[in-house]
Amino acid sequence: MIGQASSLWLGISNWFVALSAWRRVIWLAMCQIFLGLSRKNSLGLVWALAEPLVAVSMIYAIRGLLKMNTPNYGSSLFLFYATGFIPYFMFLRLSSGTRNAGTGPDKRLPGMSALDAYIASLLVNSTIWITMMVALFLGMWWLSDIREISNISISVCAVPIFLLIMLAMGVGMLNTAISRYVPFWNLFYSLATRGLVFLSGILQIVDLQAPHLRYYSILNPLSHAVEWFRLGVWERYPHNSLDEGYLITWVLVCLFLGMVIDRGSIRTLGRFR
């Protein structure tokens, strides 16, 4: 009995030691990625964060010129678009960041796997985007009189944001695997996902869309994430088309397929090199 307890304790101790070593590797990789972003691609990082704000401002200005100032929901047209564009662009940028993670043996730190590289890249980019999101909403609360901002439910908004981060990781790994075989896949993915802005419930409430558009919007998991996020801003936001289970299923399936297919493509290509 004492021997079994000693073996169990030894196993737990070894697990904690391995976990601590893994955390140090991830932290070092995150520092490396952040330094790379700040040195080599600082303008690209600034544009990535500014793109959703530019999109919101342009649509806001166009609707103002057309004298269409009535918000689709709530008291602020700018807030309505911001709550749609920011989660949407966060997914696009995180999936691209995961896709562009340095997973090659010559780019990884010693003892670091390709999955570790994906995780480190995701953590860095998620931290940047969440910080920007919090700063934006705090700025809107400080500089404007939009009453909804003071009633935002952080716990409700955090769930779809977390699911979008996990979905971005799975989709990013799938894209990485596909791009190893199809060189132009990254360009096609970027163009295709930009078009999803019209089917993600960003510009119009999904429940109020025309039936033929609503059908395709409901098939898009991003529309469910946007609706879920807006529920944290407006408690009575129309959400008859929201299906939390559908979004979670997409996340789990994409993560599973991403890990399996990405690993399989690495092994397959490694045999021919």
Which of 75-89, 206-220, 240-254 shows the lowest mean pLDDT across its residues? 75-89
**Hey, what amino acid is at 116?**
D
pLDDT tens for 138-157 read 887 776 767 777 778 889 99
Task: Calculate the CA 25 to chain-centre distance.
Answer: 23
CA-based radius of gyration for the chain: 21
197, pLDDT greater than 80: yes
CA–CA distance, 20 with 236 (Å, rounded to integer): 44
pLDDT at 157: 92
Residue 131's CB is within 10 A of a number of other CB atoms, namely 11
pLDDT tens for 221-262 read 999 999 999 999 998 898 899 999 999 999 999 999 988 888
CA–CA distance, 188 with 223 (Å, rounded to integer): 21
**Residue 25 in contact with residue 109, Cβ under 8 Å?**
yes
Structural domain including 27 reads 2-271
User: Confidence band (pLDDT; 50, 70, 90) for 272?
Assistant: very low
Question: How many domains are contained in the chain?
Answer: 1
